[in-house]
């Protein structure tokens, strides 16, 4: 413990934590926890927080010494609100009244007289975080700093606690007398007031402040990051053990017969840090262009576009956002990884977040990032923690097989650290996951500060940004605005990006960084070159519109034919097309349509692969791997095959079709689908020497069928229909076609288009309005955290939160099993009694939205049946909280009395409406 003001016996007798274990009473003195947290937050500042984030904090506070003082002060003072009668008389969680009485007796012996006799009328009106803020602001601490203390349990509330002490004096002083102004008050009131002032003055002394006037006032965005840092330190200093391994002690409680003076606080802290073992920060090196970085990292020479983009980023003085618009298959992933190294070095960031549309795309990208990260870890000879961020990460074998940080002694490896879990997941330095993890930066949710802290120290890459609809984009733009406020460098990737979205991406970052609007009338905002590089360098937007030598990517002319056939005729057409060999892809807009077409093809003598979201997780993974092995890069292709799928084929896989059939969709997505056509340079059947795209579902201009119009806006479908000619020249036509469809200022004169546009703009306005209800406010000049979160989503779980940022109905995931003769089996026939819990947990699937007449009622019914048939699941790490649905011997069941569910490994989960008995 550092030398500072002496701590009185009264302060030493206050408790911060207490519990009973195996009949043994345990406690932790408040002063011990405060010093633990002070040590921890200081270590995080010096050894974990990125230099870029630290420099940004210093910019708003004054200098590094002032930042260090403030951080130490927050750590040592954060739980001062526990130095109150309201907290010190809180009952134990397990109701151990004897332990409670023993601790109160200690306080009584320390002159807190009659504490064992009091009965406070409203102790819950002064929770310790709020009480801490009230005490500090009463002592003259700036409101911005007080709000950090008030919010350190996840939410600072709507308003400062201005009248808290006056309204609930007994909660602070044991009686309704005010020792601050009344002379005739019980002595114990003065003792409580003096103890609070003692802890406060100890905090000032430890931090290096001479008086309260030395404490700086800070703006809101810096308060958010410091709040996140304090919460992280508090959570770590409150962890007795590392995960469930009780042999790995962090900050354990002590027995009741031990005192504050019996604790070696420095040794305790050093042991905790060594046990925590979160690895060292990445120290990015400058990317030298004297040698080809692509050759160095991957063993191939940079293509012209890669070389120019890397050189342009290298020349930026103050890089903020980089947007890369380029064709599929051009190596944007490698460009982004090199850019990550460049931007991390330039802005002193120590990590990466890579966000993608789906779990499947996240899994595929994780392997590529992992390979890159392993090289960095070896180069620096340090262990780097990584986290795969999506709901099924535990089933990713590559992720699960990584060594645990606590079990590895060698350096130069990529590891996982169990401490980075739940709300702490985004604190891991290197993360790959679904875009939800970034969008949640903009959702009002308790402990949001942790997410902002985690992202503030990373380079952020957003892949396939075109895939995010107007509702999701509202959260995306606000998240980007906050990233701009933190000076976080970003890389945005897209094969097809409307200029309106490009403008808003740049403008959002600019607005966050500079607190003012960007002029969108400049030439950069209207650019339609392709490929296109846009860089926000300081306040200037720079673009590269011409790439010398870009002809290394051979131009392709894509033949377009519109067809509108009944399903049977369509299948006959497809099979005729590949009668002499070839691989036909069929991408449709709904699972139901994909299944219907697959059932027709299945009757024919041709290999069929069906892929959509309604497969069990292990089977979908198996199908994806099989597809890659058959029609991926360097695959040995089959003579004939039909692949039918939904949008998962558009987003997830590096696969190649000889001919492609697709339902009508907005132009950018249609071109994404076309990117799976003749993707690789391979020998094909003579008939498919030239790529051909069949577009389905266009009955007439403005009539695309209820199914297609339920998925996509009619306005965008009509404009796609209008501008889609008989040929597309790739990549030349990509940008022009996308811009034409999304340009709302220059619509063609087409009957019904104006009405469709009105509906589209109404829906867009509704999306913006709905998003704003739950979206955090933009960075503010105000100097406190009050009102930032509100209470909109403060209590939602992660699944509901992710549904909120995607504007989807709450859905239900279940474990699908089969019952035969009273025994339960996995759907592949394995007896569940002989399976590992993890194997059972993998059998998860999302129920179709049509069955959700009352989500809560269905969940209640499934919880009841799951507890009845599988009571042991409650004690399983893998199965606790999961819901089970049992199918009969024919793989059928009934849901909600109105729907039949059937599952097959070939077609997935199929939903059919039960016929009425009436």
Q: What is the pLDDT of residue 801?
A: 61
On the question of pLDDT at 798 being above 60, the answer is: no
On the question of pLDDT at 407 being above 80, the answer is: no
Helix (H, G, I), strand (E, B) or coil at 697: coil
* Residue 808: pLDDT band with limits 50, 70, 90: low
Average pLDDT of the chain to the nearest whole number: 91
On the question of pLDDT at 215 being above 90, the answer is: yes
pLDDT tens digits, one per residue of 173-191: 999 999 988 778 999 999 9
The reply to whether 554-730 shares the fold of 304-545 is yes
Task: Work out the burial of residue 643: count CB atoms within 10 Å of its CB; fewer than 13 is exposed, 13-18 middle, 19 or more buried.
Answer: buried
Mean of pLDDT values over 353-363: 89
On the question of pLDDT at 1 being above 60, the answer is: no
CATH superfamily placement of domain 304-545:
P-loop containing nucleotide triphosphate hydrolases (3.40.50.300)
On the question of pLDDT at 714 being above 90, the answer is: yes
On the question of pLDDT at 550 being above 70, the answer is: no
pLDDT tens digits, one per residue of 864-918: 999 999 999 999 989 998 999 999 999 999 887 778 999 999 999 998 887 654 4
The pTM of this model reads 0.91
- Give me the residue spans of the domains in the chain: 9-276, 304-545, 554-730, 809-913
On the question of pLDDT at 498 being above 80, the answer is: yes
* Residue 588: pLDDT band with limits 50, 70, 90: very high
Helices (H) and strands (E) in the chain, counts: 34, 28
Among 69-78, 493-502, 526-535, name the most confident range: 69-78
C-alpha 411/C-alpha 84 separation (Å) is 47
Task: Work out the burial of residue 99: count CB atoms within 10 Å of its CB; fewer than 13 is exposed, 13-18 middle, 19 or more buried.
Answer: buried
Q: What is the pLDDT of residue 148?
A: 97
Mean of pLDDT values over 839-865: 84
Backbone φ, ψ for residue 820 (5° rounding): -135, 120
Fold that domain 9-276 belongs to in CATH:
Hypothetical protein af1432 (1.10.3210)
On the question of pLDDT at 856 being above 80, the answer is: no
Q: CB–CB of 260/12 below 8 Å?
A: yes
Q: What is the pLDDT of residue 772?
A: 82
DSSP one-letter string for 312-367: HHHH-SSEEEEEEE--TTS-HHHHHHHHHHHHHHHHT--EEEEEESSHHHHHHHHH
Reply yes or no on domain 554-730 having CATH 3.40.50.150.
no
**Angle made by CA atoms 154, 221, 30, in degrees to the nearest 5:** 40
pLDDT tens digits, one per residue of 628-679: 999 998 899 999 999 999 998 887 678 999 999 999 999 999 998 998 999 8
């Amino acid at each position: 413990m550092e030398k500072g003001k002496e701590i009185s016996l009264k302060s030493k007798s206050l408790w911060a934590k207490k519990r009973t274990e195996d009949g043994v009473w345990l406690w932790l003195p408040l002063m011990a926890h405060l010093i633990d947290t002070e040590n921890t937050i200081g270590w995080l500042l010096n050894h974990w927080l990125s230099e870029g984030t630290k420099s940004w904090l210093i910019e708003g506070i004054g200098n590094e010494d002032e930042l260090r003082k403030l951080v130490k002060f927050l750590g040592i003072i954060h739980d001062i609100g526990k130095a109150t009668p309201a907290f010190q008389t809180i009952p134990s969680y397990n109701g151990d009244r004897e332990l409670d009485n023993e601790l109160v007796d200690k306080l009584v012996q320390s002159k807190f007289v009659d504490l064992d006799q009091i009965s406070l009328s409203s102790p819950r009106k002064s929770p310790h975080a709020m009480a801490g803020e009230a005490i500090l602001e009463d002592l003259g601490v700036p409101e911005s700093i007080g709000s950090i203390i008030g919010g350190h349990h996840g939410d600072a509330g709507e308003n400062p606690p201005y009248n808290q002490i006056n309204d609930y004096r007994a909660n602070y002083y044991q009686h309704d007398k005010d020792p601050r102004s009344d002379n005739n008050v019980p002595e114990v009131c003065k003792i409580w007031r003096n103890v609070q002032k003692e802890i406060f003055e100890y905090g000032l002394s430890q931090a290096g402040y001479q008086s309260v006037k030395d404490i700086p006032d800070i703006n809101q965005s810096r308060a958010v990051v410091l709040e996140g840092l304090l919460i992280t330190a508090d959570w770590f200093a409150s962890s007795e053990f590392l995960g469930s391994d009780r042999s790995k002690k962090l900050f354990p409680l002590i027995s009741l017969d031990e005192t504050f003076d019996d604790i070696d606080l420095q040794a305790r802290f050093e042991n905790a840090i060594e046990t925590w073992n979160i690895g060292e920060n990445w120290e990015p090196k400058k990317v030298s262009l004297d040698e080809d970085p692509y050759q160095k990292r991957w063993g191939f020479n940079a293509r012209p576009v890669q070389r120019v983009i890397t050189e342009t980023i290298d020349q930026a003085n103050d890089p903020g956002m980089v947007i890369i618009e380029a064709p599929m298959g051009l190596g944007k992933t490698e460009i982004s990884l090199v850019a990550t190294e460049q931007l991390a070095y330039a802005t002193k960031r120590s990590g990466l977040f890579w966000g993608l549309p789906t779990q499947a795309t996240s899994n595929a990208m994780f392997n590529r990032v992992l390979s890159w990260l392993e090289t960095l870890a070896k180069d620096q000879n340090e262990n780097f923690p990584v986290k795969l961020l999506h709901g099924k990460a535990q089933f990713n074998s590559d992720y699960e097989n990584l060594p645990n940080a606590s079990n590895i002694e060698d350096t130069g490896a990529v590891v996982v650290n169990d401490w980075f879990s739940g709300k702490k997941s985004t604190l891991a330095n290197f993360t790959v996951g679904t875009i939800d993890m970034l969008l949640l930066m903009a959702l009002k949710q308790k402990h949001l500060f942790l997410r902002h802290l985690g992202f503030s120290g990373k380079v952020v890459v957003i892949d396939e940004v075109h895939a995010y609809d107007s509702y999701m984009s509202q959260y995306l733009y606000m998240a980007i605005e906050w990233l701009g406020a933190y000076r976080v460098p970003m890389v945005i990737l897209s094969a097809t990006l409307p200029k309106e979205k490009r403008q808003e991406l740049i403008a959002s970052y600019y607005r966050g960084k500079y607190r003012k609007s960007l002029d969108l009338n400049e030439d950069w905002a209207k650019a339609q070159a392709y490929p296109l590089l846009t860089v926000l360098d300081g306040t200037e937007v720079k673009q590269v519109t011409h790439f010398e030598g870009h002809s290394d990517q051979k131009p392709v002319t894509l033949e377009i034919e519109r067809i509108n056939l009944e399903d049977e005729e369509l299948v006959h057409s497809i099979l005729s097309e590949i009668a002499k060999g070839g691989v036909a892809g069929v991408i449709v807009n709904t699972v139901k349509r994909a299944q219907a077409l697959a059932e027709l093809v299945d009757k024919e003598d041709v290999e069929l692969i069906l892929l959509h979201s309604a497969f069990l997780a292990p089977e979908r993974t198996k199908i994806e791997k099989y597809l890659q092995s058959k029609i991926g890069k360097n695959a040995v292709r089959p003579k004939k095959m039909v692949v039918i799928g939904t949008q998962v084929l558009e987003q997830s896989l590096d696969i190649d079709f000889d001919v492609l059939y697709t339902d009508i969709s907005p132009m950018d997505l249609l071109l994404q689908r076309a990117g799976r056509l003749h993707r690789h340079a391979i020998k094909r059947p003579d008939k498919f020497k030239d790529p051909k795209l069949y577009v389905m579902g266009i009955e007439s201009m403005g009539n695309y069928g209820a199914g297609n119009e339920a998925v996509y806006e009619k306005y965008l479908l009509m404009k796609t229909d209008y501008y889609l000619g008989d040929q597309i020249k790739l990549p030349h036509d990509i940008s022009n076609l996308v811009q034409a469809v999304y340009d709302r200022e220059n619509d063609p004169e087409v009957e019904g288009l104006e009405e469709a546009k009105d509906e589209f703009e109404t829906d867009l306005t509704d999306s913006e309005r709905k998003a704003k209800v739950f979206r955090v406010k933009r960075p503010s000049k105000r100097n406190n955290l009050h009102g930032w979160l509100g209470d909109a989503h403060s209590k939602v779980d992660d699944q509901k939160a992710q549904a909120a940022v995607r504007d989807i109905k709450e859905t239900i995931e279940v474990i699908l099993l089969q019952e035969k003769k009273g025994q339960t089996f996995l759907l592949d026939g394995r007896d569940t009694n002989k399976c590992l819990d993890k194997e059972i947990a993998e059998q998860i699937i999302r129920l179709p939205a049509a069955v959700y007449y009352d989500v809560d009622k269905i969940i209640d019914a499934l919880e009841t049946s799951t507890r009845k048939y599988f009571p042991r699941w409650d004690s399983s790490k893998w199965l606790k909280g999961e819901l089970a649905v049992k199918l009969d011997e024919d793989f059928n069941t009934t849901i909600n009395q109105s729907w039949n569910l059937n599952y097959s490994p070939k077609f997935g989960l199929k939903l059919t409406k039960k016929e009425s008995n009436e």
